[in-house]
Every structure is written in structure tokens, then in C-alpha cells.
């Protein structure tokens, strides 16, 4: 069985699977033999140029991503091809970013860093996570990893998902939950239901001084609505993702008060590719054995 792996390093990590012929390319061009490829493993952070490859693999059955986000791929998937994510590979690193970013905002690390550059000693009381009610929007692997890291800090965590289940609230109740939480951490995947989820009404329901942490995707948050709240000084935010992304030079978010921005680095921790390759290897073995695939993206989300 032939598998085309766009990333040569990932191809090396997958090379030991018995019964699988791994094809890769150093120059981005499709190697000979890809007409037989049943599985396609794109680059770690694939762009539109790799989506185009889908139409050039006539025997394709499965696209196995090395990332958790699938929104680049879902509109272009050929009929009959299964799309799976690397859910679980990067949740720990992204969860650490989310909790660390919340701490950074509450304890004003960014402002103290600016003060350090000018030699200003501004000693004053800041805030802390302990005792905060934190709403985690998204109860998948990443949401659970965030919850587990918040609890030792003494936070009171409420989880929200598309459907309610034991210990998890329904997203349909979010309007009544938001006013009672001092921080909201968003970790949902991009689906038609989550694009623009954090809009003007969502933000208006958050209490004064609350912190929004976006570790999902930029399109989940309405940028103009967030800018209005930040400019008014009513809310604070930590963003690892933005809309647009990359955030252009001169965009008003850069200079908005009360916002801490990082350039989509939440999952970019040492060993990220190796962890993702392990997920891909396990998935390829399932495919070979005819077993049920995991992390399948469907029209109901993932």
C-alpha cells in the first residue's frame, strides 16, 4: 500500500510500517508512483498549495493530517475520501499556552516587560488564577487538557461542548454562563457553527474585566467586536490566533489596550512533528488492518 508523505522528516518517522511504501519529496513536486497512493499525509502546517494535491492522487482514500485543525481541507475533499486529524498530538502544548497566556494577562507580564525596556519600576497589585471561574469552550482533547492544568491553580472550571453530557454544559446555554465567569478560554475547532461564535453579543455577556483567551482559530472571534471591547477597556484578551492571520503590520489589534498576542505558536513545541507522526502511524496501521479510523472529520464537526 502506497502513502505519500509531503514532509520528508515525517516520512522518515513513518518509514518502518510493514507493508507500506512511503513516498516523499524534498522539492514539493509529486514523486513517481503517487498515482497509487491511498493515503496522503500533508505538511505539518499545510497551505493551499498542498490542498491542490488532492486532485492529483486518483487512488486516494484517506488524508491524515499532522495537525488538529482541518478547516483548510474540508471544503476541498474529494467525494469518498476520509479526512482525519492528529487530535491529541498537540493538545498538551496548546493547553500550556492557554493557561500561561491567562496568567500573563492577569499578572500583567506584557506591561512589566514594556516597563523593563524603559527602566520603569511600577510596583502594584495584579491578579491571579486562583478563585477565578473559567469557562472552557470546547470539551475535546484540548479542552480537557486545559481543564486539568487549571485545576491545580485553584480555578473553578466549567466545560462547554456542542452537546451536554456528564459534567459538561451545552453550548446552547452559553449566554447564561458567560456573565458568571471571569475568564473564557476558546478551544473549539472551526466548523460552520463556530465561525464567528465569539461575536458582539458573546463579548457583551462577559463581565467587566474578564479575559478572553483564543487558542482555537482566528475566525472563531469577530475581530471588530473584540476591538471595540478592548478599546473601551472593558475586556482583556490573549490571542494565539487572529483574523486576519498573519496579523498585518499596522492592524489595530497590535496596538489595542489589554491584549497579549503570540504568532500561532501554541502547538509549536519540541517534538511536535514526532508526536503527530505517531498519531499518523497508528492511523495507517488501522487502515491496513481494516479497523475503524479515529479523529474522523464529518459534516457534524470533529
Instruction: Enter the C-alpha cell of residue 286.
Output: 488501522
The x, y and z cell numbers of residue 178, run together, are 458567560
Instruction: Looking at the structure, tell me whether residues 106 and 244 fall in a common domain.
Output: yes
Contacts of 58 (CB under 8 A, 6+ apart): 35
Helices (H), the chain: 8-13, 48-51, 91-106, 109-118, 141-150, 174-177, 200-205, 223-231, 252-255, 272-289
Domain presence at residue 299: no
Both 163 and 224 in a single domain? Answer: yes
Q: In this structure, is residue 75 part of a structural domain?
A: yes
Separation in Å, CA 147 to CA 122, 197, 279: 33, 21, 23
Are 84 and 100 in the same domain? Answer: no
Q: Model pTM greater than 0.85?
A: yes
Q: Report the pLDDT value the prediction gives residue 25, as an integer from 0 to 100.
A: 84
Same domain, 148 and 9: no
Q: What is the CATH number of the domain that holds 59?
A: 3.40.50.720
| Same domain assignment for residues 97 and 135 | yes
The secondary element (H helix, E strand) that includes residue 288 is: helix 272-289
Cell of 232: 473601551
**Which residue is associated with the grid cell 486516494?**
60
Largest CA distance in the chain: 65
Structural domain includes residue 298: no
Per-residue pLDDT of the chain (302 residues; tens, 9 = 90+): 999 999 999 999 999 899 999 999 877 678 899 999 999 999 887 766 778 899 999 999 999 999 888 888 988 899 999 999 998 888 899 999 999 999 999 999 999 999 999 999 999 999 999 999 999 999 999 999 999 999 999 999 999 999 999 999 999 999 999 999 999 999 999 988 999 999 999 999 999 999 999 999 999 999 999 999 999 999 999 999 999 999 999 999 999 999 999 999 998 888 999 999 999 999 999 999 999 999 999 755 54
**CA–CA distance, 185 with 282 (Å, rounded to integer):** 30
Number of structural domains (the chain) is: 2
**Range(s) of the domain holding residue 274:** 2-89+269-289
295 in a structural domain: no
Amino acid at each position: 500500500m502506497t502513502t505519500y508523505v509531503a514532509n520528508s522528516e515525517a516520512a522518515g518517522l513513518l518509514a518502518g510500517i510493514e507493508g507500506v511504501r512511503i513516498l516523499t519529496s524534498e522539492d514539493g513536486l509529486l514523486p513517481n508512483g503517487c498515482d497509487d497512493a491511498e493515503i496522503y499525509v500533508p505538511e505539518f502546517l499545510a497551505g493551499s498549495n498542498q490542498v491542490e494535491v488532492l486532485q492529483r492522487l486518483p487512488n486516494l482514500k484517506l488524508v491524515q493530517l499532522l495537525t488538529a485543525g482541518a478547516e483548510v481541507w474540508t471544503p476541498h475533499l474529494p467525494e469518498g475520501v476520509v479526512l482525519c486529524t492528529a487530535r491529541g498530538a498537540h493538545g498538551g502544548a496548546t493547553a500550556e499556552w492557554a493557561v500561561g497566556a491567562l496568567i500573563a494577562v492577569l499578572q500583567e507580564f506584557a506591561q512589566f516587560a514594556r516597563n523593563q525596556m524603559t527602566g520603569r519600576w511600577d510596583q502594584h497589585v495584579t491578579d491571579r488564577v486562583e478563585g477565578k471561574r473559567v469557562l472552557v469552550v470546547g470539551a475535546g482533547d484540548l479542552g480537557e487538557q486545559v481543564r486539568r492544568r487549571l485545576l491545580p491553580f485553584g480555578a473553578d472550571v466549567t466545560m462547554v461542548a456542542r452537546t451536554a453530557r456528564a459534567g459538561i454544559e451545552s453550548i446552547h446555554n452559553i449566554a447564561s454562563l458567560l456573565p458568571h465567569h471571569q475568564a473564557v478560554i476558546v478551544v473549539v475547532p472551526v466548523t460552520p457553527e463556530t465561525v464567528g461564535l465569539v461575536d458582539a453579543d458573546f463579548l457583551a455577556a462577559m463581565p467587566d474585566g474578564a479575559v478572553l483567551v483564543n487558542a482555537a482559530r482566528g475566525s472563531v472571534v469577530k475581530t471588530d467586536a473584540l476591538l471595540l471591547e478592548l478599546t473601551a477597556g472593558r475586556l482583556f484578551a490573549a490571542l494565539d490566533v487572529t483574523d486576519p492571520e498573519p496579523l498585518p503590520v499596522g492592524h489595530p489589534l497590535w496596538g489595542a489596550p489589554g491584549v497579549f498576542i503570540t504568532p500561532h505558536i501554541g502547538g509549536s513545541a519540541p517534538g511536535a512533528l514526532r508526536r503527530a507522526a505517531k498519531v499518523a502511524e497508528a492511523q495507517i496501521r488501522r487502515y491496513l488492518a481494516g479497523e475503524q479510523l479515529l479523529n474522523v472529520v464529518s459534516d457534524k464537526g470533529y
